[in-house]
Amino acid sequence: MEGKIQSMECFFLSDIEEMSSAFLFNCLTYCSLKAQGSNLRIGPVSAPTIRSVAKVAKVSTATVSMAMRNDPRITLEVREHVQKLAKKCGYQINPVVSRLLSQMRSNQSAARQGILGFLSTSSHSEDASCAFTKTWLASARQRAEELGFWLDEFALHEKELSPGRLLEILEARNIRGLMLAGPFLDHSIPRDLYDILGRSSVVVVGERTSKPALDCVLNDQFLTTSDAVAKCLASGYRRPGLCIHPDLDGVVENRFSAGFLVSQRQLPADRQIPEHPYQARGEKDFVAWVRRYHPDVILTLHPEIKIWLEKMGTPSPQSIGLVHLDRTKELTGWSGMKQDHEHLGTAAVEMLINHLFHNEVGIPPFQRCLFLGSRWVEGRTTLRLASSREATSKPGGTGKPSTRNETTQRRKSP
């Protein structure tokens, strides 16, 4: 008896999809004729329906309905066959109607539309617990709840959670949308997650992957760095330098150093400074770099260099300015660029829900990346120095502005 009821329900829902598609097709046809100035009275137009696709594919209407929704209960071969024929016939599902029917199938209320997942793919617990990952999760969860979704958190570094076990959990909870957080080695998603990717709508948060190329939301570190350089120059600094760990730059495809190098091209050759590769135990090399090239402001991701500058007698901001390229609330007093991780998590969950509404599942045919900007936060690690216009307008000015910064460095240089 239960099987008959489920069968009747499946045919009932597919009939609704068929009627909705036909109605929408007729409405669009009528609007098109009116837009062209036609006064013709038209009758019903024969639109491709689930029933017509099922007839061509020689399957049931329920099979067509599930295949168009990428339902895993239908084999991949059948899904691709039905979808290919549907595209040839010109049949398209209505994403709004599809979502409504999905709620009816799962007996979900209108107030709670489904469950999403936030997956930290790193094998290291510190990656899942770092400040910006927590911020992404918190802001994504808040926005998801505002839009009627739950957001469950998963972390692969937990010993009992293998990719296979995760797939079972996602199936049991009917979680079809996933946010992925890295970092990802060589910008690649682990191969053992491909089965999960194939049945899910996926958005990567915080970086861009290339194997496979998934849709993503991330900060534009290129503009973050170039905007920081521009802000320093506008404040009167003349010799900006960059000190960043190569591995961190590599995670974001070297966009930090790219933004810095492009900004340096706009400076005279004698004011261009090569970037310095930060190392945790590289204080000696850092001191040598400062004394050789005399930067008057340093862009960085590493707060400890502030202590190194103090130890060498060139404290910030009196001698050398410091700008943090990911200025968070924990970095009290620092000047820098706020990457706004809160909005990044919000934008990622909005993109993911949009994918769900449009039934975009698996690896996309082309990659879409949403880059978010950063904003300047004024702090106590930079000064507003005399501008070049003020320097050249002084009596006896040479036309080549000099700052207290440069004078101090010349005195302390060997």
- pLDDT tens per residue across span 140-166: 999 999 999 999 999 988 777 899 999
pLDDT value at 72 more than 70: no
Least confident piece of the model among 1-15, 17-31, 356-370: 1-15
Residue 67's pLDDT is 81
pLDDT digits (tens, 9 = 90+) for 164-189: 999 999 999 999 999 999 889 899 99
Within this chain, do residues 328 and 362 fall inside the same structural domain, yes or no? no
Q: Are residues 29 and 92 in the same domain?
A: yes
The reply to whether 282 and 366 lie within a common domain is: no
Residues 77 and 152 in one domain: no
> Taking Cα atoms as reference points, which of 143, 165, 154 lies closest to residue 344?
143
- Closest residue by Cα to residue 76 from 229, 203, 198: 198
Looking only at the bridges linking them, the beta strands covering 335-338 and 375-377 are antiparallel
In a shared domain, residues 88 and 237 = no
Residue 108 neighbours by CB under 8 Å, 6+ apart: 102, 114
| Those residues with Cβ within 8 angstroms of residue 340's Cβ, 6 or more apart along the chain or in another chain | 219, 372, 373, 374, 375
**CA dihedral defined by 12, 16, 21, 23, rounded to 10 degrees?**
130
Number of domains composing the chain: 3
Would you state the structure tokens that stand for residue 126, as one six-digit string? Answer: 């510190």
**pLDDT single digits (tens) 308-361:** 999 999 999 999 999 999 999 899 999 999 998 999 999 999 999 999 988 899
CATH number at residue 84: 1.10.260.40
* End residue of a domain, out of 45, 73, 105: 105
What percent of the chain has pLDDT above 70?
77
Residue 46's pLDDT is what? 62
Residue 219 per-residue DSSP state:
E
Three-class secondary structure assignment of 80-115: HHHHHHHHHHCCCCCHHHHHHHHHHHCCCCCCCCEE
CATH of residue 193's domain is 3.40.50.2300
Kindly state whether residues 322 and 363 are assigned to the same domain.
Answer: no
Q: How far apart are CA 382 and CA 333, in angstroms?
A: 10
- Which pLDDT score, from 0 to 100, does residue 195 have? 93
pLDDT grade for 71, boundaries at 50, 70 and 90:
confident
Q: Which residue has the tokens 């960043």?
A: 244
Q: Using CA of residue 395, residue 397, residue 402, residue 408, what is the dihedral sign?
A: negative
Number of Cβ within a 10 Å radius of residue 56:
15
- The reply to whether 229 and 333 lie within a common domain is yes
User: Are 94 and 119 in a shared domain?
Assistant: no
pLDDT reported for residue 98: 61
Look at residues 105, 124, 141 and tell me which one is the last residue of a structural domain. Answer: 105
Q: Are residues 298 and 403 in the same domain?
A: yes
Residue among 380, 378, 370 at smallest CA distance from 337: 378
Residues 153 and 81 in one domain: no
Q: Residue 211: give the domain boundaries.
A: 114-219+344-372
Q: What is the pLDDT of residues 78-118, one digit of tens each?
A: 888 888 888 888 887 665 556 555 555 555 444 457 899 99
- Identify the pLDDT of residue 42: 46
pLDDT at 2 over 60: no
Does position 397 have pLDDT exceeding 80, yes or no? Answer: no
Predicted pLDDT at 402 = 39
Average pLDDT over residues 45-49: 69
β-partners of residue 337 are 376
Query: Do 100 and 119 have their domain in common?
Result: no
Which of 258-262, 302-306, 356-360, 398-402 has the lowest average pLDDT? 398-402
pTM of the model: 0.70
What mean pLDDT is reported for the chain?
A: 82
Helix (H/G/I), strand (E/B), else coil: 53: helix
Which of the four pLDDT bands, split at 50, 70 and 90, describes residue 49?
confident
Predicted confidence at residue 1, as pLDDT, reads 46
Domain match, 28 and 96 both: yes
pLDDT surpasses 50 at 392: no
Q: What is the DSSP letter of 69?
A: T
Closest CA to 316 of 212, 241, 211, 254: 241
